Amino acid sequence: MTDPRIKNIVIVGGGTAGWMAAAAFAKVLGPTYSIRLVESEEIGTVGVGESTVPHLKLFNDLLGIHDTEFMKNTQGTFKLGIQFNDWGRVGDSYIHGFGTIGHDVSLLPFHQFWIKAMQKGMASDIGAYSIHTLAAPRGKFMTSATDVPSSSPLADIAYSYQFDATLYAKFLRGYAEKRGVRRTEGKIAQTVLRPDDGFVEAVVLESGERIEGELFIDCSGFRGLLIEQALHTGYIDFTHWLPCDRALAVACEKVEPPTPYTRSSARLAGWQWRIPLQHRTGNGYVYSSAHVSDDEAAATLLKHLDGKPMGDPRPLRFTTGVRKKSWNKNVVALGLASGFLEPLESTSIYMIQSGIARLLNLFPQRDFSEVVIDRYNAQAKFEYEHIRDFLILHYHATERNDTPFWNQCRTMSIPAQLQDNIRLFRDSGRFFRDAEEMFATTSWVQVMLGQHIVPRGYHPLVDQMPDQELARFMASVSQVVASCVDAMPSHQAFIDRHCVAPSMAV
């Protein structure tokens, strides 16, 4: 009998997406699979995605990579959340923290009690009730403690990373090659399709070398060398809702201890990121070319740097959206080849990780069952659309009317499901997470409250708690969180003790 298993995998393109895929396949599939990665040193990678969400820790854990090793090799720092400045109104500032807010009571989430307490003048800003949103602006950080009660906020600290994506790809390359992944240097000159069914049969390099495969992973970036140029899959454009179409990225010299959060500051025609690493600070301006010129955008970016720029801003052009199919025939697109949702909530690397996990869960046999492919594409579509809606929320939920860009965002039509979520939350502070969507209820709550979507009411079961008890409850939670933050070391001290990069060691 013919072995139905796929054994020959070709990854087209390196960078973060290519080497994450190579490392995961090498770890999970093992040495019986042939895994080959083709990339060219002459073709640059985007390399601006240096901020992530907590899910990446699960990926590193799968590979057996400890935080200490990872952070030392990527000049990394830790991240408790994202600070948003000037989004709802000029002068606003709030933090979307990764962790829980307070603690739930019976079946009700903490924020329901907070809504009533705020209406009665018994509560502080929602950020006072989460260790993440209180610790981040104070520059405090630690990982979860094992010597405290499980009910303590210190026992469950969700965190992510800020790191040099180019160094991460280099690190994963070494990991993958040690486990049998073969790297081939060269540019692809031709994609050969099978005449009978249109599947990709091989890629041919400029050198003339022909590389055949059974399953091809397209990590070629925006070009979509296989998924689009060869298979003409098509693209769904999200520009109506996510109008930014360009970015400029530049690193600057480090001038202060790194903050344990990424900063996103709204500008006149988009927003600017700030990502502190151990050795430098990453910066970028994501903007709409219909509302500001490239020269004006560059001037704005450089004006708001903390330190001296370490080069000229690098331009990036994109169209937000997603391929009509992330998996077409025997090609699976990962990273920028599959779609782009801009880095507002640091989801780019997560989407790579999610695509890899989805592929491993739905790994095909040689017959490439359409049932399996359809399920992969349906789940990818679900994920892209739900993350898209969360990003749209940031742009649309604004009271700013000071520029044409913000007027457009504030008044644009939005997807029906997002509109329903906003209406329900504004009515009574309720939010229902849709199955396996990426962002948790606490994420939606923090952004909606941070951008002035204020609930008119709250869940009626909150009234079962007497007002005096509610006041004590709110005070107790804020006091516990504050005392925990007081006990935490500084972010820099934690890095110095556990994972300072060799080049930064004194």
How far apart CA 231 and CA 222 sit, in angstroms, is 14
CA distance 160 to 78: 6
Instruction: Give 356-363's long-range contacts (Cβ < 8 A, gap of 24+).
Output: 356/20, 356/21, 356/24, 356/25, 356/59, 359/327, 359/332, 360/24, 360/25, 360/28, 363/6
**Cβ-based neighbours of 177, under 8 Å, separated by 6 or more:** 183
Catalytic annotation on 72? no
Distances, alpha carbon 354 to alpha carbons 53, 99, 357, 376, 382, in Å = 12, 20, 5, 11, 12
CB of 387 closer than 8 Å to CB of 345:
yes
Residue 364 near residue 8, CB atoms below 8 Å? no
Alpha-carbon distances of 469 from 41, 299, 455, 460, 465, rounded to whole Å: 64, 54, 22, 16, 6
Query: In terms of Cα–Cα distance, which of 383, 366, 389 is closest to 444?
Result: 389
Catalytic residue, candidates 57, 72, 79, 116: 79
* Residue where the block lists tokens 């520009």: 239
Question: Within 13 Å, how many C-alpha atoms sit on residue 372's CB side?
Answer: 15
Active-site residues, by number, are: 79
